[in-house]
Amino acid sequence: MAMTDDVRANAPAMLASGVVLGLVVFLIAAVWSSFTIIQPGNVGVVFNRWSGALKTVGQGAAWRVPWITQVQSYPIALRTYTMVQRSAEGSAQGDDSIDLPTKEGQHIRQDISVTYNTSHERAGDVFRSFRGADMADIERTFVRRTIITVSQNAAGQMSLTELISAQRGQLQSRIQDDLQKEMNKMGFEVDKVNLGASHLPDIIEKQLQQKMAAQQQAQQAEYELQRQQTLAKAKVAEAEGDAQSTLVKAKAQAEANRLLQESLTSLLIQNKAIDRWNGSLPQFTGGGAVPFLNLKDLGAGDAHAAGAGH
């Protein structure tokens, strides 16, 4: 009975303590909710729900009136959204690469990353476009869907070969240009689009390998044909050169023989006459110069001398 009386006596004090504690908690919550920290690399948008006024603030503490003023932050530093097949590298878990159709109706999966941001001047446009949504929500919805849609539309105008080789750079530029137009409408700026690895279905992979092997064989055959033709032309040129060289040599030798014959005929005759001269001068009467040796006389003299010897 005494204990009941004590509880009744202490009830007002306990009630007062509860009210005080509630007030303290309320005040702490009010103070805590009266400011938001804008992290480095972001810009804050302060929105007044009653007046509809917007203003942007830089990094640091952004003060607001609880339940009246809303503050949201958006990136002015570059931010990258990645969609890849390897789960450990992308913005989402699992195979998050994009399914791209080709104009032939085939499909490949493509890794892609998009780097983008907003600016201090365009942050208010982002806030209005998405009604103050958080950046993570915007990325999971608008940014993701826009990347997929733009990429698929661009790829659908190209063939499989163009997508993975010949015009891959053109595809990347087209995606970047189209994505810039769509995201700029909402207050974002696209800095860069990068296409990563292309992942082909097994059947297409085998077909491409067979095609590449056939092309390599054709190129090798063409190279071998050109090599043989080059060798044949070289041999013909070598034979023609040898024939021309022989003809030139023959003509040169004939000309040399002719000149030698013309220049040495008289000298050769004199040399032979001297070789056969016995050293005796012919005997003549009368004056005058001593005539040159007569071959016929020398020949007759030799014959006479031979007869006398016998």
pLDDT tens by residue, 135-167? 999 999 999 999 999 999 999 999 988 888 878
Burial of 203 (0-12, 13-18, 19+ CB in 10 A): exposed
Position 284 pLDDT exceeds 80: no
What would the mean pLDDT of 274-290 be, rounded to a whole number? 55
User: What is the rounded distance in angstroms from the CA atom of residue 243 to the CA atom of residue 110?
Assistant: 65
Count CB-CB contacts under 10 A for residue 256: 10
pLDDT of residue 2: 45
Count CB-CB contacts under 10 A for residue 128: 14
pLDDT of residue 308: 45
| Of residues 191 and 8, more confidently modeled | 191
User: What is the rounded distance in angstroms from the CA atom of residue 35 to the CA atom of residue 28?
Assistant: 12
pLDDT of residue 181: 97
Position 223 pLDDT exceeds 60: yes
pLDDT tens by residue, 24-76? 555 555 555 667 889 999 999 999 999 999 999 999 988 888 788 999 999 99
What would the mean pLDDT of 117-146 be, rounded to a whole number? 96
| Of residues 233 and 188, more confidently modeled | 188
pLDDT tens by residue, 161-185? 888 887 899 999 999 999 999 999 9
User: What is the rounded distance in angstroms from the CA atom of residue 184 to the CA atom of residue 220?
Assistant: 51
Q: What value, to the nearest 5°, has the Cα angle with vertex 226 and ends 221 and 231? A: 125
Count CB-CB contacts under 10 A for residue 20: 10
Q: How confident is the model at residue 310 (pLDDT cuts 50, 70, 90)?
A: very low
